[in-house]
A = this chain, B = another copy of it.
């Protein structure tokens, strides 16, 4: 068996991810909808506002009664009432009259504009002078001026933000259709790996790091963490865990030990699942080469390298976009939400002919972002904790120079 069966470039993997279909849709309450992705467009069920509202404190008038009004020749209007906040207007505006109205108040019948209080002078208890003319519609938000009934307000695939939730609430919507969030199983494999809660470490064993890091990254990417397991490098044990994980989850993320054999284990387990489709076995980046992407029907299986730094880079570059895509986010290739531009603080050497993903730390210097390469053995967790993300030295480039502007891909949403 060749070491890697289907090596792909980063671009090719992202193209595969782009073609993953979103999960099924579900109905959620509008209060819980922020951060979710619409599975169908939203049309306004009713107009907003549903009555003509004043946008200023002042007087509701017939605009024509103010035509030609000015400081030297004000228009004289009789004040015949007042609109109370939150109530329908009790009195209609007739020619030559005005009704006091607060911001947000309902425009009385007969009125077609509001004169701001600043441009009026009380003459006596029941009369005002208007010193500036208004046109029909001035300082009024008419029925449907904000949102017309039936208007398409949000697109399928739109990720709802707090302000969108406000818009849905304004239209009286209580529920909305969104794509499901993926349920994700996180599995670490390796004979040397023991659960992190192991108090006293047996000889040769280390605590698992990847389940904790991957689970936290899954949650940040909107996934729902389900089963979290550590298993030894045993083909039958791994198959059993995968079978159970695939049954109850949309995505299974394995991270392998660092030895060569583990990758074969994942491939051999996949062979035991009829209909499984190996989409990538090997990706042409460093670190991160031993990455596996497979589909089993509607389910997605990722195999990540065992080194925590490699696993975190591959998660950020590929697994996160795949989880977003399953939630219905469009155009994951163009996603720039977790990318920052920064000035490289130091030269990064690189070997021509492979894409290097180099860990960097972001620092702020006089309001500008700088990216400092974090060097150190990739087996180290302390250097990973010192890094905020990575910069990519492309395949055909031999290193990056200090002072150049780079894109930093963040491991985590700040």
Contacts and interface: CB of A to CB of B under 8 A. Distances in A.
Contacts of A380: 141, 145-146
A334 interface: yes
The secondary structure that dominates the A interface is: loop
Interface in A298-340: 306, 308, 312, 334, 336-337
A59 to B, nearest CB: 15
Count of this chain's copies in the oligomeric assembly: 2
A163 B385 contact: yes
Interface string A73-103: 0000000000111111100000000000011
Interface in A349-398: 364, 369, 377, 379-382, 384-385, 387-388
A217 interface: yes
24 contacts: A34-B412, A50-B206, A57-B260, A84-B191, A85-B190, A85-B233, A85-B257, A86-B191, A86-B193, A89-B204, A106-B204, A153-B385, A154-B385, A161-B411, A162-B216, A162-B312, A163-B213, A165-B216, A166-B210, A166-B213, A169-B208, A170-B381, A174-B197, A334-B364
In the complex, which of the residues A174, A233, A385, A413 has the most CB atoms of chain B within 10 Å of its own CB atom?
A385
A345 interface: no
B103 A259 contact: yes
A172 B195 CA distance: 9
Nearest to A262: B85
Interface string A1-22: 0000000000000000000000
A359 to B, nearest CB: 10
A230 to B, nearest CB: 11
Interface string A254-287: 0001111000000000000000000000000000
A70 interface: no
A165 to B, nearest CB: 5
Given A86-B193, A154-B385, 11 more contacts: A34-B219, A53-B206, A83-B204, A84-B204, A88-B203, A106-B203, A161-B216, A162-B411, A166-B381, A167-B381, A172-B196
A411 B161 CA distance: 8
Contact of A213 (B165, B199, B306, B385): B165
A169 B31 CA distance: 34
A37 interface: no
A104 interface: yes
Interface string A139-183: 001000111000001100000011111111110101000000000
A166 B385 contact: yes
B163 A379 contact: no
Nearest to A140: B377
A127 interface: no
A207 interface: yes
